[in-house]
Amino acid sequence: MAEVTIQQVAKAAGVSTSTVSNLLNGRAHRMLPETRVRVENTIEQLGYRPNRAARQLRTGRTQTIGLVVPSVGNPFWGSFARQLESAALEEGYHVLLCNSERDPDRERRYIEELWSDGIRGVVLCSSLPSLEHVAPVMQRGLHLVAFDRAAQADDPEALVSISIDNAVGSQLATAHLADLGHRRLAFVSGALGSVNRKDRYRGFANALEQAGLSVDKTILWPGASDWRFGDVESAELGRRAAHELLSSDTPPTGIVAINDMCALGICRGVRDAGLEVGTDVSVVGFDDIVLADLYDPPLTTVRQPMTEMAAAAITELKTRVEAGGPTPGRSLLLRPELVVRSSTSAPRS
Amino acid sequence: MAEVTIQQVAKAAGVSTSTVSNLLNGRAHRMLPETRVRVENTIEQLGYRPNRAARQLRTGRTQTIGLVVPSVGNPFWGSFARQLESAALEEGYHVLLCNSERDPDRERRYIEELWSDGIRGVVLCSSLPSLEHVAPVMQRGLHLVAFDRAAQADDPEALVSISIDNAVGSQLATAHLADLGHRRLAFVSGALGSVNRKDRYRGFANALEQAGLSVDKTILWPGASDWRFGDVESAELGRRAAHELLSSDTPPTGIVAINDMCALGICRGVRDAGLEVGTDVSVVGFDDIVLADLYDPPLTTVRQPMTEMAAAAITELKTRVEAGGPTPGRSLLLRPELVVRSSTSAPRS
DNA sequence: GTGAAAGCGCTAACAC
DNA sequence: GTGTTAGCGCTTTCAC
């Protein structure tokens, strides 16, 4: 039950604690090769593991970063959490998981608690437009990476933002439909409340323009639901949007959805109307959640490069935390990728 | 940048550190009400937050528990992680997230690392039939709750197992089909490798017997894929199983799947065969992942009471960790619940 | 009712 | 090249 301490190792190896400590902290060159081997063996034999609390108390550093997500129950965030944890492991970090449940107060409390836990780097996936509630903690020295949220003018100066280029993403999606020959395109989204949503709509509009289609020929279906507010709501919105769109005189042949759940709802609405997805109507999603590939038909969608994004988040955090001092913020926009599956094809006739 | 310490608080309040500490640790009754108020105000004013590392070093206790899951990218585990984190928060604990990625070695290393981080309670969602690889750490005093894995005879003595009653679950699913009037039922699963799978099959067999149907009239489709090994694999297995089953002379009218992903694959296979799910063929899943309700048609399935299970896991861990000493293991089997949606109905004709 | 002081296990000057 | 030592911030026993 009693753990092995550095003193016991030192004693058993016939050296001082500093020698053991030196070995532990990558200063092996300071000692004779034979000493080194002896200490290494002793550590091995005794099964010694440094006490993190003591180490942290002494150095002020933790090997833990915080992750605040709306909910890992959501596959999108679950998938990101997984990638982030793997990236963190590579760099010798652990991840403390915090679900904000979209409660701004819970989010703020978590951030403060993480700080007082000694954690100096946090990845925040916030649903909130403003980050002023975390500004005080950042002022104290917390390094924060905002994920999936484009940088804002009034963001704290030191903030790092990592996100995909949403405009490029939906431009890819829309251009794909235009290239296939579609001429009547619709964009389905709830209210364009967040910057992400606005950007995605902008990409859609850009692509139409480039394809020589005027924007006013397209249909924007405004709903009340908020971005990723709930999977069920997104899907339901898509379904109803499809019903409405397909009952018009000149129904679209291609639909760009704000996200995959919405696209899935659209697919269902298309089927409700007695039409087939992928042949009668082409549908493109966004995010490439696990489900997209498992759906029937597999969904053409825009993939967020999760692995790269997670790695970038860890790199930023590690660099900043280890440097210590205040560092200027920046914004990283990664390029999304179009994944073509079976929900899109050339229009009929 | 420099944090407020207990000394500073003591000095500012004109008391000693022990008085502040006493207040912090629920021993406020030891001091005069006025002292108490004064100290409380000072803490508030200075924004003092106790340093966790120092506290942990001193007491040997952490307010963090470990969670080891195959991958939070999987919606089933993501959903559990979310519930566990919420339950932990209620009790003042944090959750450290570890994805084993189904690598036994990574799993073992994580457990050991958690131990040396000072963590004394871990929820392990292991894919491994044997837990002997964690026995040494449990010997040292780590409290372990195994989740979604029925207890085994050779498990470490102190192990707590929390799971649903899988046999009851598939019995509910199967009885539901029998009650609807189905007479030709199939059970689709990969190899019955894990205890969970065996139990689910047992429940299926029991229900048939009770309905007066002999087991040998049913079809077991053995595949190579392992339980929850991968969503894609599970779904593919279901799809191929459906193809095979439906091309027989006396195809089943009701199919019980080993899990939801498999059920989704079956639905697709049914559609491939030109039949409709919910009318021509009834399909029941298992787990009630988010997707089950969003699919088309919404899937009838067996729900695992995640919230209760997570709460139970935290309660067990908290009790044991705070008691300190060795505690006898036990096994908790919660009752699953049948969720009837549209993928099941009475058979045709 | 309050304070003084020891020490948890470790790191990093600094001395030799 | 190796050892000695002073704390990191906190809790807790033991005096007063």
Domain boundary assignment for chain B = 6-50, 60-165+305-335, 166-304
Question: What is the predicted pLDDT for the residue at A230?
Answer: 61
Q: What is the mean pLDDT of residues B330-347?
A: 96
Nearest residue, CB atoms, A81 vs list B57, B72, B118? B72
Q: In this structure, is the CB of residue A15 within 7 Å of any atom belonging to strand D?
A: yes
Burial of B101 (0-12, 13-18, 19+ CB in 10 A): middle
Q: Is the pTM of this model over 0.85?
A: yes
Is residue B97 less than 8 Å (CB to CB) from chain A? yes
Q: Which residue is nearest to nucleotide D9 (CA to C1')?
A: B54
Question: What is the predicted pLDDT for the residue at B148?
Answer: 92
Question: What is the predicted pLDDT for the residue at A146?
Answer: 96
Average pLDDT over chain B reads 89
User: Are B176 and B338 a contacting pair, CB within 8 Å?
Assistant: yes
Chain-centre distance for alpha carbon B348: 37
Is residue B75 less than 8 Å (CB to CB) from chain A? yes
So what's the architecture of A166-304 in CATH? Answer: 3-Layer(aba) Sandwich (3.40)
Q: Element (H or E) spanning A337, and its range?
A: strand A337-339
Q: How far apart are CA B148 and CA B259, in angstroms?
A: 13
Q: What is the mean pLDDT of residues A163-173?
A: 96
Asked if pLDDT for residue B307 goes beyond 90, the answer is yes
Question: What is the predicted pLDDT for the residue at B223?
Answer: 55
Query: B116 and A52: CB-CB below 8 Å?
Result: yes
Question: What is the predicted pLDDT for the residue at A124?
Answer: 97
Query: B85 and A99: CB-CB below 8 Å?
Result: yes
User: Are B213 and B174 a contacting pair, CB within 8 Å?
Assistant: no
Is residue B53 less than 8 Å (CB to CB) from chain A? yes
So what's the architecture of B60-165+305-335 in CATH? Answer: 3-Layer(aba) Sandwich (3.40)
pLDDT (tens digit, 9 = 90+) per residue, A3-32? Answer: 889 999 999 999 989 999 999 888 888 888
User: Are A122 and A144 a contacting pair, CB within 8 Å?
Assistant: yes
Question: What is the predicted pLDDT for the residue at A226?
Answer: 46
User: Are B313 and B277 a contacting pair, CB within 8 Å?
Assistant: no
Percent of chain B with pLDDT over 90: 60
Q: How far apart are CA A138 and CA B231, in angstroms?
A: 40
Contacts of A53 in chain B (CB under 8 A): 53-54, 56-57, 62, 118
Average pLDDT over chain A reads 89
Question: What is the predicted pLDDT for the residue at A225?
Answer: 46
Sign of CA dihedral A223, A225, A228, A234: negative
Contacts of B52 in chain A (CB under 8 A): 116-118
Asked if pLDDT for residue A121 goes beyond 90, the answer is yes
The Å distance, CA of A144 to C1' of C13, is 32
Question: What is the predicted pLDDT for the residue at B324?
Answer: 75
Q: Do domains A6-50 and A60-165+305-335 have the same CATH topology?
A: no
Chain D positions within 7 A of any protein Cβ atom are: 1-5, 7-13
Q: Element (H or E) spanning B334, and its range?
A: strand B330-334
Chain-centre distance for alpha carbon B308: 10
Asked if pLDDT for residue B285 goes beyond 90, the answer is yes
Question: What is the predicted pLDDT for the residue at B180?
Answer: 97
CA atoms within 13 A on the CB side of B280: 14
Tell me which CATH homologous superfamily contains domain B6-50: lambda repressor-like DNA-binding domains (1.10.260.40)
Query: A53 and B56: CB-CB below 8 Å?
Result: yes
Q: In this structure, is the CB of residue B6 within 7 Å of any atom belonging to strand D?
A: yes
Q: How far apart are the first and last CA of chain A?
A: 76
Pick from A59, A68, A58, A51: nearest CA to A121 = A68
Asked if pLDDT for residue A91 goes beyond 70, the answer is yes
Lowest mean pLDDT among A118-122, A323-327, B54-58, B273-277: A323-327
Q: How far apart are CA A76 and CA A228, in angstroms?
A: 10
The Å distance, CA of A20 to C1' of C14, is 17
pLDDT (tens digit, 9 = 90+) per residue, A184-227? Answer: 999 998 777 778 888 999 999 999 999 998 765 566 666 554 44
Q: What is the mean pLDDT of residues A275-287?
A: 96
Asked if pLDDT for residue A261 goes beyond 60, the answer is yes
Question: What is the predicted pLDDT for the residue at B225?
Answer: 46
Q: Which residue has the higher pLDDT, B32 or A214?
A: B32
Tell me how crowded residue A346 is: count the other CB atoms within 10 A of its CB: 13
Whole-angstrom Cα Rg for chain A:
26
Sequence letter at residue B317: L
Report CA-CA distances (Å) from A263 to A295, A300, B262, B324.
Answer: 11, 10, 22, 51
Is residue A234 less than 8 Å (CB to CB) from chain B? no
Asked if pLDDT for residue B231 goes beyond 80, the answer is no
Q: Which residue has the higher pLDDT, A327 or B94?
A: B94
Q: Minimal Cα distance from A326: which residue of B?
A: B1
pLDDT (tens digit, 9 = 90+) per residue, B96-142? Answer: 999 999 898 999 999 989 998 889 999 999 877 789 889 988 988 89
User: Are B261 and B289 a contacting pair, CB within 8 Å?
Assistant: yes
Chain C positions within 7 A of any protein Cβ atom are: 1-5, 7-14
Query: A81 and B96: CB-CB below 8 Å?
Result: no
Is residue B327 less than 8 Å (CB to CB) from chain A? no
Q: What is the mean pLDDT of residues A111-133?
A: 89
Tokens of A165: 């280029």
Query: B82 and A94: CB-CB below 8 Å?
Result: no
pLDDT (tens digit, 9 = 90+) per residue, B182-226? Answer: 999 999 987 777 788 889 999 999 999 999 987 655 666 665 544
Asked if pLDDT for residue B34 goes beyond 50, the answer is yes
Q: How far apart are CA A308 and CA A316, in angstroms?
A: 12
Question: What is the predicted pLDDT for the residue at A165?
Answer: 96
Beta bridge partners of B297: none
Sequence letter at residue B270: V
State the nearest Cα–Cα gap between A317 and chain B, in angstroms.
Answer: 18
Q: What is the mean pLDDT of residues B308-326?
A: 91
Is residue B115 less than 8 Å (CB to CB) from chain A? yes
Q: In this structure, is the CB of residue B17 within 7 Å of any atom belonging to strand D?
A: yes
Beta bridge partners of B301: B339
Chain-centre distance for alpha carbon A185: 29
Q: In this structure, is the CB of residue B30 within 7 Å of any atom belonging to strand D?
A: no
Contacts of A293 in chain B (CB under 8 A): 232
Burial of B30 (0-12, 13-18, 19+ CB in 10 A): exposed
Q: Which residue is nearest to nucleotide D11 (CA to C1')?
A: B58
Lowest mean pLDDT among A89-93, A121-125, A216-220, A264-268: A216-220
Question: What is the predicted pLDDT for the residue at B227?
Answer: 41
The Å distance, CA of B19 to C1' of C1, is 9
Is residue B67 less than 8 Å (CB to CB) from chain A? yes
Residue A295 pLDDT class (50, 70, 90 cuts): confident
Nearest residue, CB atoms, B52 vs list A72, A118, A231? A118
